[in-house]
């Protein structure tokens, strides 16, 4: 079965443990058209030579300062951000409690994340085989808006939308881009059969009901259109057990495990196969699953993966506080005097090149049939 073929191969020994795994929906769900191409497997993730010491030069970022100010035509209440420990978070007018800030420092990390995922995909913005003349596209949970902006530049005839809880996108954007404030966990405001491509990325920790999310995506996808979901497992893994050298990584893991339970939102959506299950049950066909290992730091022997790893490390070092502050202080109420010790330990662990750590990224995409069957209402 397809679901059985892609079970987290990275944590178990196998002849090629670093290879990405791809799988497709059962043959019965595949239309009688040309086969859908799948991406090539990821290059093997093997360590390079360990350094003489633990010092590791930081990777430079080629980011632009896209995380500027808010867009126009939003109500004042949306701009009434909450301030927690000196960082701003989205307005509490939304029912969704998201764990990262919406300020410039966090938007820089969002931009770096976009860069390393683009490098990981060999400078592609997506994996789904969308049609070249795609007309209407939405980036759900757009953050800084960088994916929507890049897509609009690449497809100048497409109308591209970006939605998020906060209007933290830049004002100067391509003419075919529009940003809107919206909560993806509620009923979407878009009409049925509207988008040719729905792009969803890094919503872990924000969604209570993944099936409901993908039902809305299915409703709003035009016949023949595609949905793509990308989510990461932010636990630190290693094939050689070198993560055991830094016990603070267990604290990181526990922070997200306990924080997710307290918030009622999962951080580790791979465990329950939320993406592929939700996309299939919503009614999409030709469902394809692609797994990658995401190195943390520049320890990989392969130059591309080393570059990816340096940007992953930079993303985290740029805003370790933003990824952890709300969970530690407000959700779990862990001891305040332990927080700075935790941050120092994490910075040390990230710079230790003897630790061959990686996270996991999963892409899942599927197509809405040209003549979709009506689904029973949930």
Domain boundaries, the chain: 2-30+45-57+72-367
**Which SS3 state, helix, strand or coil, does residue 63 take?**
coil
Q: Which superfamily does 2-30+45-57+72-367 belong to?
A: Vaccinia Virus protein VP39 (3.40.50.150)
Residue 226 near residue 198, CB atoms below 8 Å: yes
**Which SS3 state, helix, strand or coil, does residue 195 take?**
strand
Distance, in Å, from the CA atom of 45 to the CA atom of 234, rounded to the nearest integer, reads 17
Tell me the pLDDT of the chain (378 aa) as tens digits.
344 334 333 333 333 333 333 443 333 333 334 456 677 777 777 787 776 654 444 443 333 333 332 233 333 444 444 555 555 555 555 444 666 676 777 788 888 999 999 999 999 999 999 999 999 999 998 888 899 999 999 999 999 999 877 766 778 889 999 988 888 888 999 999 999 999 999 998 889 999 999 999 999 999 999 999 999 999 999 999 999 999 999 999 999 999 999 999 889 999 999 999 999 999 999 999 999 999 999 999 999 999 999 999 999 999 899 899 989 998 999 999 999 999 999 999 999 999 999 999 999 999 999 875 655 444
Distance, in Å, from the CA atom of 355 to the CA atom of 244, rounded to the nearest integer, reads 8
C-alpha count within 13 angstroms, C-beta hemisphere, residue 75: 8
For residues 254-278, b (16+ Cβ closer than 10 Å) or e, as one string?
ebbeebbeebebbbbbbeebbbbbb
Question: What are the pLDDT digits (tens) for 174-199?
Answer: 999 998 888 888 899 999 999 999 99
> Facing residues of 230 across strands?
201, 363
Distance, in Å, from the CA atom of 272 to the CA atom of 211, rounded to the nearest integer, reads 12
Tokens read off for 270: 């791979």
Distance, in Å, from the CA atom of 174 to the CA atom of 229, rounded to the nearest integer, reads 24
For the chain, state the CA radius of gyration: 20
Residue 144 has a pLDDT of 84
> Facing residues of 195 across strands?
221
| E strand segments, 4-98 | 22-24, 82-84, 87-89
What element of type H or E holds 263? Answer: helix 248-263
Residue 38 has a pLDDT of 72
The sign of the CA dihedral 22, 28, 29, 32 is positive
Residue 41 near residue 312, CB atoms below 8 Å: no
Give residue for tokens 């990224």: 361
**φ and ψ of 85, to 5 deg:** 50, 40
Residue 197 near residue 344, CB atoms below 8 Å: no
User: What is the 3-state secondary structure of 272-309?
Assistant: CCHHHHHHHHHCCEEEEEEEEEEECCCCECCHHHHHHH
């Amino acid at each position: 079965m397809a679901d059985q073929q892609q079970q987290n191969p990275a944590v178990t020994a196998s002849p090629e443990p670093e290879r990405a795994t791809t799988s497709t929906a059962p043959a019965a769900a595949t239309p009688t058209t040309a086969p859908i191409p799948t991406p090539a497997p990821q290059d093997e993730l093997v360590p390079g030579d360990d350094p003489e010491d633990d010092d590791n030069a930081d990777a430079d970022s080629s980011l632009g300062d896209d995380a500027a100010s808010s867009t126009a035509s939003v109500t004042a209440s949306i701009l009434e951000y909450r301030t927690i420990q000196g960082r701003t978070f989205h307005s509490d007018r939304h029912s969704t409690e998201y764990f990262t800030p919406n300020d410039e420092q966090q938007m820089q990390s969002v931009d770096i994340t976009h860069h390393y995922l683009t490098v990981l995909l060999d400078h592609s913005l997506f994996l789904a085989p969308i049609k070249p003349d795609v007309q209407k596209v939405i980036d759900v949970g757009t953050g800084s808006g960088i994916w929507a902006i890049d897509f609009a530049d690449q497809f100048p005839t497409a109308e591209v939308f970006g939605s998020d809880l906060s209007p933290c996108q830049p004002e100067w954007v391509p003419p075919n881009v529009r940003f809107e404030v919206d909560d993806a966990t509620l009923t979407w405001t878009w009409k049925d059969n509207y988008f040719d491509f729905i792009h969803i990325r890094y919503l872990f920790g924000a969604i209570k009901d993944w099936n409901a999310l993908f039902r809305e995506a299915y409703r709003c996808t035009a016949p023949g259109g595609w949905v793509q979901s990308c989510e990461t497992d932010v636990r630190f893994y290693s094939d050689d057990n070198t993560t055991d050298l830094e016990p603070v990584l267990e604290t990181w893991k526990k922070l997200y495990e306990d924080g997710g339970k307290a918030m009622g939102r999962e951080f580790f959506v791979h465990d329950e196969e939320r993406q592929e299950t939700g996309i299939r049950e919503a009614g999409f066909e030709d469902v394809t699953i692609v797994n990658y290992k995401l190195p943390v730091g520049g320890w990989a022997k392969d130059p591309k993966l080393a570059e990816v790893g340096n940007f992953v490390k930079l993303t985290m070092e740029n805003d370790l506080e933003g990824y952890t502050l709300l969970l530690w202080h407000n959700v779990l109420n862990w001891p305040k005097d332990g927080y700075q010790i935790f941050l120092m330990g994490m910075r040390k662990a990230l710079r230790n090149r003897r630790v061959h750590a990686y996270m996991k990224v999963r892409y899942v995409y599927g197509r809405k049939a040209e003549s979709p069957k009506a689904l029973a209402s949930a």
